[in-house]
Structure 1
Amino acid sequence: MAGSGTAHLRDGEQVLRVEDLTVTFPAGRRRTVHAVSGVSFDVARGETLGIVGESGCGKSSAARAIMQLPRPSAGSVRLNGLELTGLRGEALRRTRRRLQMIFQDPISSLNPRRRVRDIVAEGPRVWGTLDGDTARIDELLEAVGLDPATAAGRRPHEFSGGQCQRISIARALALDPEVIICDEPVSALDVSVQAQILNLLEDLKARYGLTLVFIAHDLAVVKNISDRILVMYLGKTCELAPSAALVRSPAHPYTRALLSSVPQAPLRIPEEEEKHMAGEPPSPLAPPTGCRFRTRCPRATALCATEEPRMRPLTPDHYIACHHPHTETPA
């Protein structure tokens, strides 16, 4: 294992590899926000990797750094073996055609002055791949569940939030990407609409052979769409495992807390354990020494304050960064 502990894939062709990804932002005089600190993971072709954690844990910062928007402060991002962090100008622009993004707020991510057909067609027109043929745009609108005859000529404000997210998905598909990063794409939608969008993403993934990185703060949403789940806390990776294994046997105390908050989850943590985890995470301006979760962890010891836990395997495909993991399986 390299760097801070990449959980390498055993099977499948690797399409995206992120290693020791670090994102920092200046925050006034001599102050720095540590948004992402040494996060590593691989994604296989055709896989959906879920990334979950509380608001402010660095999920969206990591997503944008993968897109080089902005560039990471340190670390490596490889798409099909091609290093993205060193690319500039036209080479980077061409690579971004293969790596698209769907944003959290579907309405504000669309140009309010443009009609739907022009929004979806913008990317192919810029790259000269449309050639005046609008049949491709109609096909994409139909693929995301919109009627081209009634939707193509309207503007975003005439649609609901769920319909706007469908337009955003069609726009992301227009350049035939290999990987789509979904940055909390359902968090602003009603629960019933969330299910529709998740089902749509699953269908499109199979239809177009997509690889997805799906980001959310709700473990209940992530576990239903992901093949594997990466748990983040305060810019660090806590745990990475196949979705079923993570839900069945969460090993990190933070993962246990997230899972216990999911309705009908197979785990309820004791009241004393829950009290330890109450409150807000520390500020990313001054993260705790050692394990960043130790200030809220019921298992924290002196070792946790002085030594940062590194990612290590519990099983061949289940990784954890914790000095005192839970190893029992909940009843």
Structure 2
Amino acid sequence: MTATEPDTRAVAEPAQEEVVLQIDDLVVEFPVGGGRTVHAVSGVSLDVRRGETLGLVGESGCGKSTTGRAIMQLPRPTSGSVRFHGHDLATLSAAGLREVRPKLQMIFQDPISSLNPRRRITDIVGDPLAVWGRGDERERLVPEVLEAVGLDPDQVGDRRPHQFSGGQCQRVSIARALVLEPEVLICDEPVSALDVSVQAQILNLLEDMKARYGLTLVFIAHDLGVVRNISDRVAVMYLGRICEIGEATTVFDRPAHPYTRLLASSIPSLDTAAQVDPTEADRAGGEIPSPLDPPSGCRFRTRCPLATERCAAEEPQLREVRPGTRVACHHPLVDPDTGAASAVASSAEKGL
């Protein structure tokens, strides 16, 4: 990178904190015939620190789940790099990737369909050990992780997924992910298919498992309240790009990007004085563009009342607007020089 090129990565602050997962300029595209391409993820760059929970949030179709799968190389990204302890997963051979995968595990969105209906619970949880030549540890580790996620091994071991509720199946999925003792856990909408009361149980369980096993979490969700409560930092995605990243409370309480402000307005709050006017959600004009033909420049510009000609001509790069917060916007709601509300913030109050 030259002195004149912008630093577009959402880097970890402070620098001494260990970065275990580094995603650089990640691109995922899918050809759909007729010479057309779905631009699912376009140049996403993130650093994930050891021991943190990084939330990845955005509307349905923004590319957050695709980003999670691309980190896991399921499938491999179109371009870009995913470095785990310095090893670029995107360039590893199949054998090299296989060696790394036990340390990177994923919890999938639908807890029931992600489990083999013909297999017993002990087999579902224990199979990863057999695949990795650790079958001799099965009798010790399977009961241990089942108990850790709140399931009695003696009662559930011989049963099958269809005999359990969605919440219980998600506990089994978490146990299966933990049995290989991973360092990083990618959670793809892990509570979206569950009732609210069960969601709270699973979120508390993930927090407990994070502390018990020393996990680093990438938590993908569209429920902003859930992301805010569980995340240390939050990255906000819109149409395949990161538009803002920062500490969770700061991002939602003092958003720096107009799109983040729009999202924040949809979070229910008992503190009505602090809550953004909920009618703001109706003030963003237009529909979400198609990833088949994303807008030039800033992808949010077609819905943003602050958009100018520059927004159409020039793609905004992530830049720091206050300590720990980076935003990709030509007209951020925060003054980069002072960290205070910018002059356009008052306009946003009226126009968003």
- Same fold by TM-score, threshold 0.5 exceeded? yes
Counterpart-to-counterpart distance in 1, 2:62 and 2:323: 26
**CA displacement 1:180-209 (0-9 Å, x = unmatched):** 100000011111111110110000000000
Query: Is the CA contact (8 Å cut-off) linking 1:4 and 1:39 kept in structure 2?
Result: no
1:287 is aligned to 294
1:296 is aligned to 303
Q: 1:79 to 1:132 in 2, by over 3 A?
A: closer
Counterpart-to-counterpart distance in 2, 1:150 and 1:93: 33
Query: TM-score, normalized by length of structure 2?
Result: 0.90
Q: CA deviation at 1:294?
A: 0.6
Counterpart-to-counterpart distance in 2, 1:56 and 1:278: 18
Partner residue of 2:333 out of 320, 326, 329:
326
2:11 is aligned to 8
Partner residue of 2:252 out of 215, 240, 247:
247
Partner residue of 1:177 out of 175, 182, 192:
182
Q: Secondary structure at the match of 2:122?
A: helix
Q: Which runs of 5+ in 2 are unaligned?
A: 335-340
Q: CA deviation at 1:3?
A: 7.4
Q: CA deviation at 1:279?
A: 5.5
- What are the residue-to-residue correspondences of 1:17-96 with 2, within 5 Å? 17-96=22-101
Query: Is the CA contact (8 Å cut-off) linking 2:7 and 2:319 kept in structure 1?
Result: no
2:185 is matched by which residue type in structure 1?
A: I
Q: CA deviation at 1:298?
A: 1.5
Q: CA deviation at 1:5?
A: 0.9
Q: Which runs of 5+ in 1 are unaligned?
A: none
- What are the residue-to-residue correspondences of 1:123-202 with 2, within 5 Å? 123-131=128-136, 133-202=138-207
Query: Is the CA contact (8 Å cut-off) linking 1:4 and 1:20 kept in structure 2?
Result: no
Q: Does 1:268 align with 2:273?
A: no
1:205 is aligned to 210
Query: Is the CA contact (8 Å cut-off) linking 2:55 and 2:234 kept in structure 1?
Result: yes
Query: Is the CA contact (8 Å cut-off) linking 1:7 and 1:317 kept in structure 2?
Result: no
Q: CA deviation at 1:316?
A: 2.7
2:322 is aligned to 315
Q: CA deviation at 1:250?
A: 0.5
1:95 is matched by which residue type in structure 2?
A: V
**CA displacement 1:271-299 (0-9 Å, x = unmatched):** 4x543425541100000011000111111
Query: TM-score, normalized by length of structure 1?
Result: 0.96
Query: Is the CA contact (8 Å cut-off) linking 1:110 and 1:119 kept in structure 2?
Result: yes
Q: CA deviation at 1:219?
A: 1.1
Query: Is the CA contact (8 Å cut-off) linking 1:256 and 1:269 kept in structure 2?
Result: no
Counterpart-to-counterpart distance in 2, 1:200 and 1:278: 40
CA RMSD of aligned residues (A): 1.8
1:220 is aligned to 225
Partner residue of 2:124 out of 105, 119, 124:
119
**CA displacement 1:147-192 (0-9 Å, x = unmatched):** 1111111000000000000000000001111101000000111111
Count of residue pairs brought into register by the alignment: 330
1:314 is matched by which residue type in structure 2?
A: V
Q: Secondary structure at the match of 2:268?
A: coil
2:337 is aligned to none
Counterpart-to-counterpart distance in 1, 2:183 and 2:27: 24
